[in-house]
């Protein structure tokens, strides 16, 4: 065998995938404005024209990186929300997001940095809300609540999870299972004590009130939270 065998040349798709992977780390560290095509090319071991050949511009490369991360995360969350009882599906979706943050911190840093970019984090949050809303609407119907309000609560839930994931990206403590359990504890047990027709109270009403209206129990057994999709 020759001492120095020639390096195997990458195919076009292989090179494209390599450039996306390399640029992800640089974009995550420096941001799209400070990152340069020169350093991306150098990190990939190619000339700058090769990067331009695959993506045309730095902006297009950045958009491709964002889109790649979005597709991975969106698919993961949708799958987590597809089977099981309502609470279990929400638990699995929260855990799926935190697992993505844990395993792909650079990717999450990128997509959460610029939420308004086309096809970016804001789109992901909208998609998540659309997936969670029917789950909540079913629970509202079973509890005798107005299901049209489910989209409002879906936005509240998704916003809470998203903000906590951003915080956990930096802290990484406690572990993701504990974080997911506490998020769902706040969400689900908050739903369990929810009022059917909430309203803001005046100071006089608060002072006079002796007992609060009792809300429905969403999570009490199979009848309140039936198995779906199994």
Nearest partner of 39 among 67, 11, 64, 58, judged by Cα? 58
In this model, does residue 105 exceed pLDDT 90? yes
Over the stretch 6-28, which tens digit does the pLDDT of each residue have?
556 889 899 999 999 999 999 99
Q: Domain 66-193 belongs to what topology?
A: Tetracycline Repressor; domain 2 (1.10.357)
Rounded Cα distance between 100 and 92, Å, is 12
In this model, does residue 42 exceed pLDDT 80? yes
- Measured between alpha carbons, how far is residue 143 from residues 1, 85, 152, 217, 219 in Å? 74, 15, 17, 8, 10
Who contacts 82 (Cβ-Cβ below 8 Å, separation ≥6)?
A: 89, 229
Q: What confidence category does residue 112 fall into, taking pLDDT thresholds of 50, 70 and 90?
A: confident
């Amino acid at each position: 065998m020759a001492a120095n065998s020639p390096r195997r040349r990458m195919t076009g798709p292989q090179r494209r995938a390599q450039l996306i992977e390399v640029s992800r780390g640089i974009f995550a560290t420096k941001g799209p404005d400070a990152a340069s095509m020169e350093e991306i090319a150098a990190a990939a071991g190619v000339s700058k024209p090769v990067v331009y050949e695959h993506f045309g511009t730095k902006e297009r490369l950045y958009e491709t990186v964002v889109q790649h991360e979005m597709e991975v995360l969106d698919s993961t969350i949708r799958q987590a929300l597809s089977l099981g009882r309502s609470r279990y599906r929400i638990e699995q979706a929260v855990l799926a997001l935190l697992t993505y943050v844990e395993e792909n911190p650079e990717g999450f840093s990128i997509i959460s940095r610029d939420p308004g970019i086309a096809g970016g984090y804001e789109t992901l949050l909208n998609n998540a809300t659309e997936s969670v809303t029917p789950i909540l609407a079913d629970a509202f119907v079973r509890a005798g609540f107005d299901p049209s309000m489910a989209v409002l609560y879906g936005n509240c839930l998704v916003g809470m999870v998203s903000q906590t994931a951003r915080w956990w990206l930096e802290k990484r403590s406690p572990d993701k299972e504990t974080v997911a359990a506490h998020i769902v504890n706040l969400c689900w047990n908050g739903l369990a004590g929810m009022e059917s027709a909430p309203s803001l109270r005046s100071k006089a009403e608060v002072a006079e009130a002796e007992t609060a209206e009792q809300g429905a129990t969403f999570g009490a057994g199979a009848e309140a939270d039936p198995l779906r999709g199994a």
